[in-house]
Amino acid sequence: MTPLHHYLIFSALLFSIGLAGALTRRNAILVLIGVEMMLNAANLNFIAFWRYSAHPEALTGVMFVIFSIGIAAAEAAVGLALIIAIYRHYKTTSLEKVDSLKG
Interface of this chain with other proteins, residues 40 to 99, rule: CB under 8 A: 40, 43-44, 47-48, 50-54, 56-57, 59, 62-63, 65-67, 69-78, 80-85, 87-88, 91-94
In this complex, which beta carbon is closest to other proteins, that of residue 23 or of residue 101? 23
Instruction: Please calculate the CA angle 10-5-72 and round it to the nearest 5 degrees.
Output: 45
In this complex, which beta carbon is closest to other proteins, that of residue 4 or of residue 101? 4
Tell me which residues in 8-37 interact with other proteins (CB under 8 A).
Answer: 8-10, 12-21, 23-27, 29-30, 32-34, 36-37
Per DSSP, what are the bridge partners of residue 27?
94
In whole angstroms, the minimum distance from the beta carbon of 82 to other proteins comes to 6
Is the Cα torsion angle 54, 57, 60, 63 positive or negative in sign? positive
Give the HSE-up count for residue 32: Cα atoms under 13 Å, Cβ half-sphere.
19
